Amino acid sequence: MSENVILTGTVLPDSDVEKEIVEEAGANLRIEDVSSKEELIESATDPIGIMTIETEIDESVMDAFPNLEFISVHGIGVDMVDVEAATDRGIPVFNTPHYCLEEVATHTMSLILACERRICQYNSDVKSGGWDYKLEGPITRLSTKTVGVVGLGDIGLEVVKRIRGFGVDIVGYDPYVSEEEIDEYGVEKVDFDSLCERADIITVHTPLTESTRHLLDASAFDTMQSGVTLVNAARGGIIDQTALYEALEDGTVSYAGLDVLESEPPEDDRILNLDNVVITPHAAWYSEDALTELQRTAGENVATFLNGDVPDYVVNRDVVA
Interacting residues of 72 by C-beta distance below 8 A, sequence separation 6+: 49, 50, 51, 52, 93, 94, 95, 298, 301, 302
Task: List strands edge to edge, sheet with 228-232.
Answer: 188-189, 169-173, 146-150, 201-204, 228-232, 253-258, 277-279
d(CA 155, CA 206): 9
With b meaning 16 or more CB within 10 Å and e meaning fewer, what string describes 72-110?
Answer: bbbbbebbbbbbebbbeeebbbbbbbbbbbebbbbbbbb
**Contact yes or no for 298/72 (Cβ under 8 A):** yes
> What single-letter DSSP state applies at residue 250?
H
CA distance 283 to 119: 18
- Active-site residue set: 235, 264, 282
Instruction: Say which amino acid occupies 267.
Output: E
User: Rg for the chain (alpha carbons), in Å?
Assistant: 21
Residues listed for the chain: 321
List beta partners, residue 93: 71
